[in-house]
């Protein structure tokens, strides 16, 4: 495999192989020698047209732990603000010898456009394209769920997960549904009708508009950020009403199974989709998702660039 653009690019075996490799790499990360020489001399470019904290830093940390050279490019403050196209930017990066380009872009399909073009000869990794996909996030989420809930199983069969909130604008939700289903989990999508995508009935998930009905059933609950920057209309009457019906709070935490975990890809709107005390509660694995992300992204870079997949 050369690129990682969509969860659909991965077979079941490849997905498991990435999670297993991340598990091995996590053992290295926990040891005294954090850095591996594997990608010494390789150049990895972080090409970010949209804002990011976690994903960009996580890919950067992953690449550096594998000894690659990292170039961080963000559209703000670059010639993109002078109108330079993706093509010319990619050609420039290619001339600088990029072995892999990690791209985040507001246009769905941008990562595939780059991968299918002649503008770059390296691997392309999709770090979020519009409302379409964010495969590395889904892989780190699956890694986190497996670690907490799968015990001796290789995959996620029998595990039930609710993905709650702004499904309409969420590339995290789409990639997660595809991957969790591939790994044998049962997924519930919970949102107000206005924040469900058209055609959601064809997704491999059960759709619900009632959070309180789903809560007692699930082993993990993944809260999604309300993506206000992608909303031109109002999708719900008020923030207060949204929190009342779809927000996670202490009363709802109490309805969850005793070993259920709370997830959020970040960044959080504390007080909107999740209360601060729920985000910081003992069930929350939100901070751990970030550290798992580094190991999963190390596995992705290693397998794509060191040619093992």
* Binding site residues, ligand NCD, CB under 6 A: 54-55, 128, 134, 137, 171-172, 225, 227, 265-266
Catalytic position from the list 54, 64, 147, 257: 54
Taking the least distance from each CB to ligand NCD, the nearer of 17 and 230 is 230
Q: How far is the CB of 134 from ligand NCD (least distance, A)?
A: 5
Under a CB-based contact definition with an 8 Å cutoff, are residues 264 and 223 in contact? yes
Kindly tell me which of 86 and 223 has the beta carbon lying closer to ligand NCD.
223
Minimum Å distance from CB 265 to ligand NCD? 4
Give the angle subtended at the CA of 81 by the CAs of 51 and 265, to the nearest 5°. Answer: 10
User: Are the C-beta atoms of residues 24 and 18 closer than 8 Å to each other?
Assistant: no
Of the residues 3, 21, 42, 55, which is catalytic?
55
Is residue 240 part of the annotated active site? The answer reads no
Q: Judge whether 147 counts as a catalytic residue.
A: no
Q: What are phi and psi of 189, to 5 degrees?
A: -105, 125
Q: How far is CA 104 from CA 43, 99, 266, in A?
A: 18, 17, 16
Which of 70, 59, 64, 71 lies closest to 35 in space, CA to CA?
A: 64
**Strand-strand pairing, 261-263 and 220-223:** parallel
Let me know if 131 is a catalytic residue.
no
Active site residue 55: yes
Q: Report, in Å, the least distance between residue 41 CB and ligand NCD.
A: 29
d(CA 85, CA 103): 14
Our CB check for ligand NCD shows the closer of 54 and 64 to be: 54
| Closer of 153 and 280 to ligand NCD (Cβ) | 280
User: Residue 258 and residue 1: Cα distance in Å, rounded?
Assistant: 40
CA–CA gap between residue 207 and residue 102 (Å, rounded): 32
Residue number closest to ligand NCD, CB atom: 225
Residue number with CB closer to ligand NCD (99 or 273): 273
82 in catalytic set: yes
**Least separation, in Å, of the C-beta of 106 and ligand NCD?**
10
Helix, coil or strand: residue 150: helix
- Angstrom distance (rounded) from CA 136 to CA 286: 16
Catalytic residues: 54-55, 82, 104, 134
């Amino acid at each position: 495999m050369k690129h990682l653009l969509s969860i659909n690019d991965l077979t079941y075996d490849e997905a498991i192989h990435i999670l297993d490799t991340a598990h091995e790499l996590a053992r290295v990360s926990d040891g005294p020698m954090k850095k591996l020489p594997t990608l010494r001399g390789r150049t990895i470019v972080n090409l970010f047209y949209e804002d990011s904290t976690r994903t960009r830093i996580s890919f950067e940390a992953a690449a550096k732990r594998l000894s690659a050279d990292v170039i961080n490019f963000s559209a703000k403050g670059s010639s993109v603000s002078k109108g330079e196209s993706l093509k010319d930017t990619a050609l420039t990066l290619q001339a600088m010898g990029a072995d892999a380009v990690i791209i985040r872009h507001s246009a769905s399909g941008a990562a595939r456009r780059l991968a299918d073009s002649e503008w770059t000869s390296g691997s392309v990794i999709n770090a979020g394209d519009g409302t379409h996909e964010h495969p590395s996030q889904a892989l780190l989420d699956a890694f986190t769920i497996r670690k907490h809930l799968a015990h001796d199983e290789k995959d996620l069969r029998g595990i039930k997960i609710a993905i709650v909130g702004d499904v309409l604008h969420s590339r995290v939700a789409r990639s997660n549904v595809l991957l969790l289903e591939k790994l044998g989990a049962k997924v519930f999508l919970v949102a107000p009708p206005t924040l469900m995508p058209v055609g959601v009935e064809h997704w491999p998930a059960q759709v619900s508009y009632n959070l309180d009905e789903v809560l007692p059933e699930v082993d993990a609950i993944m809260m999604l950020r309300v993506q206000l920057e992608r909303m031109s209309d109002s999708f719900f009457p008020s923030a207060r009403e949204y929190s009342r019906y779809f927000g996670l709070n202490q009363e709802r935490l109490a309805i969850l199974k005793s070993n259920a975990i709370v997830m959020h890809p970040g960044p959080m709107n504390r007080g909107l989709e999740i209360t601060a005390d729920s985000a910081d509660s003992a069930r929350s694995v939100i901070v751990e998702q970030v550290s798992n992300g580094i190991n999963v992204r190390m596995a992705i870079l290693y397998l794509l660039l060191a040619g093992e997949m």
